[in-house]
Amino acid sequence: MQPSRLSKRTAIRLKRSARGGQRPPTAPLHPPLLVVPIPAPAPSPSAPVPARAYKLVQRAARTTRTVVQVGDARIGGTAPVLIGGPCSVESEEQVLATASAVRSAGGQILRGGAFKPRTSPYAFSGLGEEGLRLLALARARTGLPVVTEVITPEDMALVSRYADMLQVGSRNMQNYPLLRAVGRSGMPILLKRGLAATIEEWLLAAEYILAEGNDQVVLCERGIRGIDTTLRNQLDLSAVPLLRELTHLPVIVDPSHATGRRSLILPVSLAAVAAGANGLIIEVHPEPDQALSDAAQAVDFACFAEIGRGVRGVAAAAAGYYL
Ligand code: PEP
Ligand code: MN
C-alpha cells in the first residue's frame, strides 16, 4: 500500500494479492472508499522481452555450468580453450601449415571457413566441399578437431560429415530454420553474436538450439556495430561476465572480427581471458597480408604462439575468480 496526498483526497495504490484479486481494506474508512481498478498497461511491441523468455539457457536452469566437448577440448572447463586457423581455407599447404602452428602454440581446435558468408557477392566465398576435405586432412595430420561455418540448413548434412563443431555466423544468428537444424544435429555449436544483436536476442537464438534438444552450445562475442567506425566492430567485453551470470553456457571471444586489426589481437585476447572468457577464436595465416579474406586481422604463427603463452599466464592469474 502506498498512501499519497492528492489535494483533499488520499489515494492508496493496492498491489495485486498473491491470489490475483484486488480487495479493498476491511477497516472502516471515512469518506467511503472508492475503488478504481487500473488495468495493467498493455505490453508495447518495443518493450524488452522478459528475462524468463529464455528458459533452457538461463543460469538457474542448471546446477552446474555446461561444458561443451569438441574432440579432446572441453570448452567451459577449467582452462580457456584456444581456437586458431585461417578465416578461409585456401589451399592444402596453407591449412596444413596453419594447423600444425596452431597445435604447437597450444591451440586445441582448428578453425577455417569453407562456406563463407561474405558481405559482397563478388568476394571469395570459400572452397566449399574441397575446403571441408582439406580441414579433415589437417585434423588427420594434427589430431585437432575442426570448427567450420554452416550457412544454410541444406548444407547441414555435408558440413557435419567433415566438422566436429558447427559455427553459426554473425549474419545468421537469427536464421531460425538454421538454428533449428543445428539444434537437431546434436553436434557442438559455436553461436556467434549477431552484428547488432542484443544479449537477449542472442540468448533467445541459443534457446532455439536447446529447444531442439541440443545443449552443446558455445556463445561467441565477436563485437557489434557501434557509432565509431575506427575499428571493424566494438567488442562488448562486459558481455563475458554478464553472460556468466545469465547463462550456464560457455562464452568465448573472437578478437579478430571484433577489432579487425592485427596489432590488437594479443592485448584483446589477454583482456578477454582476464574477464572470464572460456576461450578465444583467432584468425591465423602463414602470410597474413596475402590472406584471401580478412587479411588485416590475421596474425602470423609467431604472434599466435605469443598469444598462447600470454593467455596461459593470464588464465593462471585469474584462476579462482571464475568458477
Ligand atoms: C568468421 O568467423 O570467419 C566469420 C565470418 O565471423 P562472423 O560471423 O563473426 O563475422
Ligand atoms: Mn573472417
**Pocket lined around ligand 1, Cβ cut-off 6 Å:** 87, 113, 169-171, 192, 222, 254, 257
Confidence of residue 217 (pLDDT cuts 50, 70, 90): very high
Sign of torsion over alpha carbons 71, 76, 82, 86: positive
Q: What is the rounded CA–CA span in Å between residue 221 and residue 243?
A: 10
> Which residue from 109, 115, 173, 257 has its CB within 8 A of the most atoms of ligand 1, so it is best to mutate?
257
| pLDDT single digits (tens) 1-60 | 444 444 455 555 555 544 444 555 555 556 555 555 555 555 565 655 555 689 999 999
Residue with cell 540468448: 203
Q: What's the gap in Å between 100 CA and the centre of ligand 2?
A: 20
Q: Whose CA is nearest to atom 1 of ligand 1?
A: 87
Q: What is the rounded CA–CA span in Å between residue 292 and residue 89?
A: 9
Residue with cell 523468455: 53
Classify burial at 22, counting beta carbons within 10 Å of its beta carbon; exposed 0-12, middle 13-18, buried 19 or more: exposed
Q: What is the mean pLDDT of residues 180-197?
A: 98
Secondary structure string (H, E, C) spanning 96-128: HHHHHHHHHCCCCEEECECCCCCCCCCCCCCCC
Residue 50 pairs with which residues in a beta bridge? none
What is the pLDDT, as a whole number, of residue 9?
A: 53
Model pTM score: 0.85
Q: Whose CA is nearest to atom 6 of ligand 1?
A: 169
| pLDDT single digits (tens) 115-126 | 999 999 999 999
Q: Whose CA is nearest to atom 10 of ligand 1?
A: 170
Ligand 1 atom with least separation from CA of 281: 2
Q: What is the rounded CA–CA span in Å between residue 231 and residue 225?
A: 10
